[in-house]
Amino acid sequence: MSSIDTQAIHAGRDDLRALGVHVPPIDLSTTYPITDVDSGGEAYEQITAGERGDGAATMVYQRLWNPNFDRFERAVAALEGAQEAVSFASGMAAWSAALLATVAAGKPHVVAVRPIYGGTDHLLATGLLGTQVTWATPETVAASITPATGLVVLETPANPTLDLLDIEAIAAQAGDVPVIVDNTFATPILQNPIRHGATLVVHSATKSIGGHGDLLGGVVASDSEWAVRLRSVRVLTGAVLHPKAAYDLHRGLQTLPVRVRAAQAGAQAVAAWLAAHPGVSRVFYPGLEDPSGLVGTQQRGPGSTMAFAVRGGYAAAATVASQCQLITHAVSLGGVDSLIQHPAAITHRPVPAEARPGADILRLSIGLEDPADLIADLDQALAAAARPLSA
């Protein structure tokens, strides 16, 4: 098997030589010619049932199939060590498809381990898609499973406090129940949950895979059986990835290993500096402290996202976020530029108070800037937060 760096560059591009091109063409067609009624009807039936559309007589319609998201999906599957992958219009559309598929199969109960991304938490808590959720700890997953359980949901590293969960241990507790892991923070470069017992892996491709803050997308890597179910949901709900976004995400994979490792190196330096700063009470970053022992085994590196608690509580944390000049005060992560945000006030606002991150916590996504410049920006922001306390 080729290294992950080589796969990132070449996966999903097997058809280019036959096409006589060096980079994938972008197919923007919303509809496709049908040679005859019978073959068109058979193709429509095949694709709407969740089968792949690349062997059909016609792709029929962009909501059903498109070669750009097919190439992107093949590449993600290769990087994750999965049989297949299915792309969606956003990370939340990907989560919605997985939940709808399990509800449709008569398994509406979900066991979920907090913390997870606030949007996913909110979706599960509302029961909007027909799911019922039991919130578990890593130790109580097995006890939370019922005959109606269709999925065990977890995120590692977890958003926003970077908790690391042992996927193999949770998969062992889950038994025959599929485990779905949000791998957005680690990316396929640092972690491959399927190799540790997960059945499905979800990414907000908007983040590190896209990497430049200019597109939305989501993707689920899985076995072929789940891929059929997910494609069927995508066809019926219309949550399809736009061909241009699919092209850009596929291109983003080519530089993903380099970007992830460079940002991770910068994060290590910033985290070490924050840990020594008197205005910071705690840094949440597995590159500094990893009681789980999973970095270097399950996860190939600590990544580029961290959180830190600011002395002075909410007011001080809010000041730091708003006073950053180089680091953008904005949600999202995994881009080439660094971002800072207050989870409890924004991304995790819908999460119940008892499970919400502390009001003193900020999440920081490190980009590709010089770490010294990021440290200087954080230094002046922390100084601004400390001034009212000492006045």
The active-site residue out of 63, 251, 261, 300 is 63
Residue type at 382 in one-letter notation: L
Identify each DSSP E strand in 90-208 by its residue range.
109-113, 132-136, 149-155, 179-182, 200-204
> How do residues 263-281 score in pLDDT, each as one tens digit?
999 999 999 999 999 999 9
pLDDT band at 355 (very low <50, low <70, confident <90, very high): confident
Spatial distance between the Cα atoms of 212 and 364, rounded to a whole number of angstroms = 16
For residue 2, pLDDT over 90 is answered with no
Active site residue 207: yes
List, in order, residues 6 or more apart from 211 with CB less than 8 Å away.
252, 255, 256, 259, 334, 335, 336
Q: 84-88 and 200-204 as β-strands: parallel, antiparallel, unpaired? A: unpaired
Query: What is the mean pLDDT of the segment spanning 345-370?
Result: 95
117 classed as catalytic: yes
**pLDDT digit string, tens, across residues 59-93:** 999 999 999 999 999 999 999 999 999 999 999 99
Amino acid at 34: I
> By C-alpha distance, which of 81, 80, 187, 59 is closest to 70?
59
Q: How confident is the model at residue 344 (pLDDT cuts 50, 70, 90)?
A: very high
The catalytically annotated residue of 44, 117, 247, 285 is 117
Mean pLDDT for the stretch of residues 345-367: 94
Q: Which residue intervals of the chain bear CATH 3.90.1150.10?
A: 256-390
pLDDT at 47 over 80: yes
How large is the average pLDDT for residues 297-320? 98
Q: What SS3 class is residue 262?
A: helix
pLDDT value, residue 203: 98
Dist CA 382 CA 280 (whole Å): 8
Q: Which two tokens stand for residue 6?
A: 């080589």
DSSP-assigned letter for residue 64: T
CATH 3.40.640.10 domain residues, the chain = 4-253
d(CA 202, CA 217): 11
What CA–CA distance (Å, rounded) separates 308 from 302? 15
**Which one is catalytic: 70, 163, 182, 360?**
182
Q: Residue 331 is which amino acid?
A: V
End-to-end CA distance of the chain: give it in Å, rounded: 62
* Residue 391 confidence (pLDDT): 47
Write the pLDDT tens digit of every residue in 110-130: 999 999 999 999 999 999 999
pLDDT at 1 (0 to 100): 55
pTM: predicted TM-score of the whole model, two decimal places = 0.96
330 contact partners, CB below 8 Å, separation of at least 6: 339, 340, 341
Please determine, for residue 154, whether its predicted confidence score (pLDDT) is greater than 90: yes
Q: How far apart are CA 197 and CA 209, in angstroms?
A: 23
Peptide bond into 157 cis (omega under 30): yes
Percent of the chain with pLDDT over 70: 99
| Tens-digit pLDDT profile for residues 16-39 | 999 999 999 999 999 999 999 999
Instruction: Assess whether 290 carries a catalytic annotation.
Output: no
Read off the pLDDT of residues 199-252 as tens digits, 9 standing for 90 and up: 999 999 999 999 999 999 999 999 999 999 999 999 999 999 999 999 999 999
User: What value does the mean pLDDT take over residues 323-337?
Assistant: 98
CA distance 273 to 35: 65
CA–CA separation, 222 vs 200, rounded Å? 5
**Could you give the C-alpha distances from 104 to 113, 164, 351, in angstroms and in order?**
22, 31, 26
Rounded Cα distance between 29 and 44, Å, is 16
Range of lowest pLDDT (155-169, 262-276, 341-355): 341-355
The answer to whether residue 343 scores a pLDDT higher than 60 is yes
Question: Of 328, 333, 326, nearest to 373 (Cα)?
Answer: 326
- What's the rounded mean pLDDT across residues 320-340? 98
Tokens standing for residue 74: 């093949």
What's the CA gap between 205 and 187, in Å, rounded? 9
Phi, psi of 166 (to 5 degrees): -80, 100
CATH 3.90.1150.10 fits 256-390, yes or no: yes
CATH class of 4-253: alpha beta
Quick check: helix, strand or coil at residue 309? strand
DSSP 344: T
Residue type, 224: S
Backbone angles phi, psi at 134, to 5 degrees: -115, 120
Catalytic entry in 71, 207, 229, 231: 207
